[in-house]
Structure 1
Amino acid sequence: MSGSDHRTAAPVCLPEHVAIIMDGNGRWANMRGLPLLAGHRAGGEAVQRTVRAAIRRGVKWVTLYAFSSENWRRTPGEVADLTGLLRYYLRHKVAELSREGVRLRVIGDLSRFPDDVQNEARLAEKVTAGNDTLVLVLALSYGGRADIVQAAARMAQAVARGELEASAIDETVFATALQTAGMPDPDMVVRTSGECRLSNFLLWQSAYAELVFLETPWPDFDETHFDTVLDIYSRRERRFGARPVCK
Structure 2
Amino acid sequence: MTQARVLVVAGSDSGGGAGIQADIKTVTCLGGFAMTAVTAVTVQNTRGVSAVHAVPVEVVVGQMRACIDDIGVDVVKIGMLGEAALIEAVAEVVRGLDCPVVLDPVMVATSGARLLEGEGLWALVEHLLPLADVVTPNVPELMELSETEIEDAADMLLAAQELLERGPRAVLAKGGHLAGERLTDWLVWRGGQRAFVEDRIDSRDTHGTGCTLASGVATGLAQGLTLADSVARARAFVRQGLMRAPGFGGGRDMGFGGPMGFYPFDA
Verify same fold: TM over 0.5.
no
Q: TM-score, normalised by structure 1?
A: 0.39
Bigger RCO of structures 1 and 2 (CA < 8 A, at least 6 apart): 1
Q: TM-score, normalised by structure 2?
A: 0.37
Please tell me whether Structure 1 or Structure 2 has the larger radius of gyration of its CA atoms. Answer: 1
Larger relative strand fraction: 2
Larger relative helix fraction: 1
